[in-house]
Structure 1
Amino acid sequence: MFDELVDATTGTRGAGALSSWSRVENAACAHRVATMAAMLDEAHAASGSADRDQWCLDNLDAVAAHIGAAQNTTPGTASHQLLIAVALHDRFPRVAAVFAEGLITYALVKTVVHRGALVIDPDALRALDGLLAEAFEDWEPRSVDKTEKAIDVFVAQVDPHAVRRDETKARGRSVEVRIEEDGSGLATVLATLFAHDAKAFQARLKNLAATVCPDDPRTADQLRADAYGAIGNGTDRMACLCGNDDCSAAQNPPATGVVVYVIASQETLADPDPDPAPRSEPLASKPESPAPPPELVAEDTAEDADAAPTSDAAAPQSDSRPATPSPSTDERAALDGEQPPLFDKPLRELTLTEALTPTPGYQASLRPAAMMGGQFLPGAIACRAAIGATITPVVHPGQAPPETRYRPSKKLADFIRCRDMTCRFPGCRVPATQTDIDHTIPWPHGPTAASNLKCVCRRHHLLKTFWGGENGWRDRQLDDGTVIWTAPDGREYVTTPGSRLLLPELSRPTATVSTTGRPAPHAAGLAMPRRRTTRAQDRAHRVAAERELNAEREPYAAPADP
């Protein structure tokens, strides 16, 4: 069927080609979803799979990890896609057939799975599957809200107590923090909360914005935006940026117990130097050890509540490439104040060419930084984040010998986290501050050295330990921090340190490791943490509880006669 859809695109153009390729795209997505369900079926068919359903990292987690690596997606995205795939092919086979023909989209499939999740009677489920499949053959375009309501009508026909109606507007309140991927170093916060809490939050922003002096260069909107950061930091005032020596607000900087890790070069955080001569001295003290000179410095500012509670921070520094004075003062000051005019003279005086060619901006001279997790941060914003932060040099170990213990020292652990920035499993973006430091060759046969250490989140650490071995996940590490993962099916996935693009000096090769003896299996002497209940039991409990609430409400009872 799929090949026939592809052949039908031959010779098409314009709207006809668009329609044909849209159907091919839907059909291809259906094949992808079917493959995911088949992978889980294969895992369940393996020997001992029933016992692994109660593992903390169960069969579904292991398959989702493989799906995430194959698609280069995060574990959360892969797990969600796998759950949709299983529900579609186990509960709605006729809808899956319509999907395979390319007649419906993946978004509509997700809505069907969600809105029909409470139908548990097999006969009712088959009836619902048939009704939806017939309706989708000539389904008209609808908004999201109308689509959900239309599907709910079919659900109500087969099982009135299975209609999803516990999601009132109040239940839908949420906060979404979305870090922009455009390199601007900004984030968008979208929040829906109770009206009285919103009023209190608005007043809190206003009060915080008033803690700076009148000479602060920021506009009212910028002050309110920065007040968000002050609340996130847990401070009761904001840092004043007026630059006046006699400013009382500037002399009393805020302190915070919340930590964000920003990795920046030492030259970025250096104070602007009006002298055109290059600096020769480092801006951070050199370590007392004979190791190579510091490369990076990590700076700690406020981050999310999941960050490790520490007061250390880091930013790169280098003796080989001295900081060059530049218009960095202008770059830092350009973050605040009113937007400059687009043109240098009134619009009526511009020629057409001048009006269509705005004044070009200047090229940034401050070296960019990154947050722990790999998010790009422009140099000027990194300097702003350094206000009130603790600066900790990050020392590249060079060819230093391995440490003689299992747990790495703080100096070595800081380097590993700043080099990797995230979990090193393919597609995983868990920040390095929330990961374990894993020996690629298990201790004591593998040394505690930079070339044998990497950051791995707890989920993928368990995956490697208990789903590893000859027929499971295996990994090997190169001297520059590159990790090569081998999946159970033999395919290889390569991950490089997160710092390689912006801070390549952290990826310089370190001392080659050598093994002592024959490494024991990862799981030797260990036991996988177990669930109290399986996923299927958890789902059955949630469905039963929601159906019970629906039965108590009886929203579809016939209204009384007037």
Structure 2
Amino acid sequence: MFDLLVASAAGTSGAGAVESWSRVESAACARRVAAMAAMFDAAHATDGSAERDLWCTDTWDAVSAHIGATLRITHGAASNQLLIAVALHERFPLVAAVFAEGLITYQLVRTVVQRGALVVDPDALHELDRLLAEALSKREPMSVATAEKTVDAFVAQVDPQAVHRTETRARGRSVDVGDDHDGSGMATVYATLFAHDAKAFDARVDALARTVCPADPRTLDQRRADAIGALAHGADRLACLCETEDCPAGENPPSTGVVVYVIAHQDTLDERPAPPPTTPDAEDVEQAAGVNEPAAVDKSAERTSLDGDAPAMFTKPLRELTLTEALTPTPGRLASLRPAAMMGGQFLPGAIACRASQGATVTRIVHPGQAPPEPRYRPSKKLADFVRCRDMTCRFPGCKAPATNCDVDHTIPWPYGPTAASNLKCLCRRHHLLKTFWGGQSGWRDVQLDDGTIVWTAPDGRSYVTTPGSRLLFPELSVPTATVVASGVPTAHTTGLTMPRRKTTRARERETA
């Protein structure tokens, strides 16, 4: 079928080619989605899968990690795609057949899965699948908005109770983006901030939202929304609504300061303007030698350029400018300061990094060079800080978890591998557990090079390479460190390690959600 679609599209042109190749694209996407579902089915059919379903990093996480590494996407994105793939083939097989023919797009498939998720009765689900497959294959092409209305209409037809559940879910509150007031008594707050301020605001709101006790009836989104009000009133905690006399919320620590990590070069933080020539005749000597140096940029003026009215971009009217002059911005503005990055890799222009440094605690990052390993399991703060700044994120393929939220992992397990920069990397807890308990000769394996590069080998033998997140902005952090030498052959697991366990399986959690 797919080969026929490709052959028929090959001889088309214009709008016909757009339509034909779009169908080929959808058909190819359908096969990718089917392959994801097949990967999960195969993993779930292996021996011991029932036991692994109670592991904290279960079969779903293992398959999601493999998909994320293959597609170079985050674990959350891979898990979402896997959820759509499994739900499509288990709940909507007729729609999946329409998708395989390239008649609908992935966006429409996702709409079907999400909008139809509330239908739980088997007979109603079968009827919904039939109605949707007929509508999507025999009617005119639908936009996503039209598809949403169609699915909602069919859901109301086959399972009226699902509509009631949808209305119940819609009462949830969250911090969203917008600028309108609809007379409902609720307001929408929109803010554009410096990236480091936005990160601090997000962390502060989240910390306030978590000062209540577990019995508070509000969702986390609702508590985050209410925390903005508490923040505006100067409160350091959120009032708990559990209505119990012995509420333990008062024992929780109040929300105080938050920490935002910014990685910047010392040149960026140096507030001193460029020094003048050391001798009165230095400039004369350079001019005599024919050296035409560009005018020094006043870095203090660079920093203040973030404030006040914007200066004129050009020194003469636009009608008098050549095309080259019009396309070339005024040199010097924000250009002399080296850019920085927040932990996690978010780019910060140098001038904004300088603003972020005002009043901040500055910690110097020291490259270990060829220093010998540290004689202990846990790295020193100096070494751990270097590894986190070098890596910036979790080093598993596709994962973007900030290094501050990661474990510092020994690539060659301790005590066979030393505590040295060339043997340490950042892994989020999920991928740390994945490597530890889903590793071995038939699982995920990793090799670390002296410059921090990690070569991962997946269970199917395919290789994935991840490089330190700092390499583009701070290549000096990736200068090779001392080569490590293993002192023995590591065992599969260190004695005493156990996989954290779930209280119930993921499938059971979804059934009761």
Distance 1:47 1:501, change over 3 A: same
Deviation at 1:160, TM superposition (A): 1.7
1:174 Cα offset (Å): 2.8
Alignment of 1:162-173 (within 5 A): 162-163=162-163, 165-167=165-167, 171=171, 173=173
Q: Does residue 431 of structure 2 align to residue 479 of structure 1?
A: no
Whether contact under 8 Å (2:263, 2:389) holds in the other structure is: yes
Instruction: Please name the residue that 2:421 is paired with.
Output: 450
| Corresponding residue number in structure 2 for 1:467 | 438
Q: Find the aligned partners of 2:197 and 2:470 in 1 and give their Cα distance.
A: 30
Map 1:78-227 → 2, pairs under 5 A: 78-142=78-142, 144-163=144-163, 165-167=165-167, 171=171, 173-175=173-175, 198=187
Name the counterpart of 2:43.
43
Give how far 1:336 is off: 1.6
Q: Secondary structure at the match of 2:394?
A: coil
1:71–1:523: structure 2 CA closer, same or farther, 3 Å change rule?
farther
Contact kept, 8 Å, 2:422 with 2:484, in 1: the verdict is: yes
Please report the TM-score for the alignment, with normalisation by the length of structure 2.
Answer: 0.80
TM-score, scaled relative to structure 1: 0.73
Per-residue deviation, 1:339: 2.7
Q: CA–CA distance in 1 between the matches of 2:169 and 2:316?
A: 50
Cα separation, 2, equivalents of 1:422 and 1:65: 16
Q: Which amino acid aligns with 2:303?
A: R
Query: Following superposition of structure 1 onto structure 2, how do residues 226-375 of structure 1 map, counting pairs within 5 Å?
Result: 257-277=257-277, 326-345=297-316, 350-351=319-320, 353=322, 357=326, 360-362=329-331, 364-375=335-346
**Is 1:385 aligned to 2:356, yes or no?**
yes
Paired AA for residue 512 in structure 1: T
Equivalence for 1:9: 9
Q: How many residues in Structure 1 have an aligned counterpart in Structure 2?
A: 446
Match of 2:476 among 495, 501, 505: 505
Q: Is the 8 A contact 1:115 1:163 kept in 2?
A: no
Higher strand share: 1
Distance in structure 2 (CA, Å) of the matches to 1:226 and 1:338:
23
2:500 counterpart residue number: 529
Deviation of 1:142 (Å):
4.8
Q: Which amino acid aligns with 2:360?
A: A
Instruction: Give CA-to-partner distance per residue, 1:168-211, whole Å, 9 cap, x none.
Output: 796354336xxxxxxxxxxxx66999976749x79xx9xxxxxx
Q: Deviations over 1:296-321 (max 9, x none)?
A: xxxxxxxxxxxxxxxxxxxxxxxxxx
Post-superposition Cα deviations, 1:46-71, rounded to whole Å, max 9, x if no partner, equal 11011111111111110000000000
Q: Secondary structure at the match of 2:471?
A: coil
Q: By percentage of residues, which structure has more helix?
A: 2
Q: Is the 8 A contact 2:314 2:330 kept in 1?
A: no
- 1:397 and 2:372 matched: no
Q: 1:424 aligns with which of 389, 395, 398?
A: 395
Residue 487 of structure 2 corresponds to which residue in structure 1?
A: 516
CA contact (8 A) 1:173 1:192 kept: no
Query: Secondary structure of the equivalent of 1:392?
Result: coil
Alpha-carbon distance, 1:404 to partner: 0.8
Q: In the alignment, is the contact (CA less than 8 A) between 1:343 and 1:359 conserved in 2?
A: no
2:64 is the counterpart of 1:76: no
Whether 1:489 aligns to 2:460 is yes
Change (3 A) 1:236 1:152: closer
Distance in 1 separating the partners of 2:416 and 2:197: 51
Give the deviation of 1:119 after TM superposition: 2.3
Distance 2:180 2:384 in 1: 39
**What is the CA-CA distance between 1:156 and the residue it aligns to?**
2.4
430-439 or 359-368, larger mean C-alpha shift: 359-368
Q: Secondary structure of the equivalent of 1:27?
A: helix
CA distance change for structure 1 residues 17 and 327 in 2, over 3 Å: closer, same or farther? farther
- Worse-matched range after superposition: 165-174 or 418-427: 165-174
Equivalent in the alignment of 1:304: none
How far apart are the structure 1 equivalents of 2:61 and 2:203? 34
Deviations 1:363-387 (A, max 9, x none): 5121111110011111111101101
Q: Percent identity?
A: 66
**CA separation of 1:342/1:168 partners in 2, compared to 1, >3 Å: closer, same or farther?**
farther
- Counterpart of 1:425 in structure 2: which amino acid? F
Offset from partner CA, 1:114-155 (integer Å, 9 cap, x none): 122232332222221111111101344555444222112212
Pairwise CA RMSD of aligned residues?
3.0
Please report how far the alpha carbon of residue 79 of structure 1 lies from its aligned counterpart in structure 2 after TM superposition: 0.1
Shift of the 379–67 alpha-carbon distance from structure 1 to 2, 3 Å rule, reads same
The 8 Å contact of residues 442 and 522 in structure 1, kept in 2 or not, is answered as no
**Cα offset, 1:359, TM superposition:** 5.4
Q: 1:472 to 1:222 in 2, by over 3 A?
A: closer
Q: Unaligned stretches of 5+ in structure 2?
A: 205-230, 234-255, 279-294
Q: Is the 8 A contact 2:196 2:260 kept in 1?
A: no
Q: Secondary structure at the match of 1:539?
A: helix
Amino acid in structure 2 at the alignment position of 1:482: T
Q: 1:58 to 1:222 in 2, by over 3 A?
A: closer
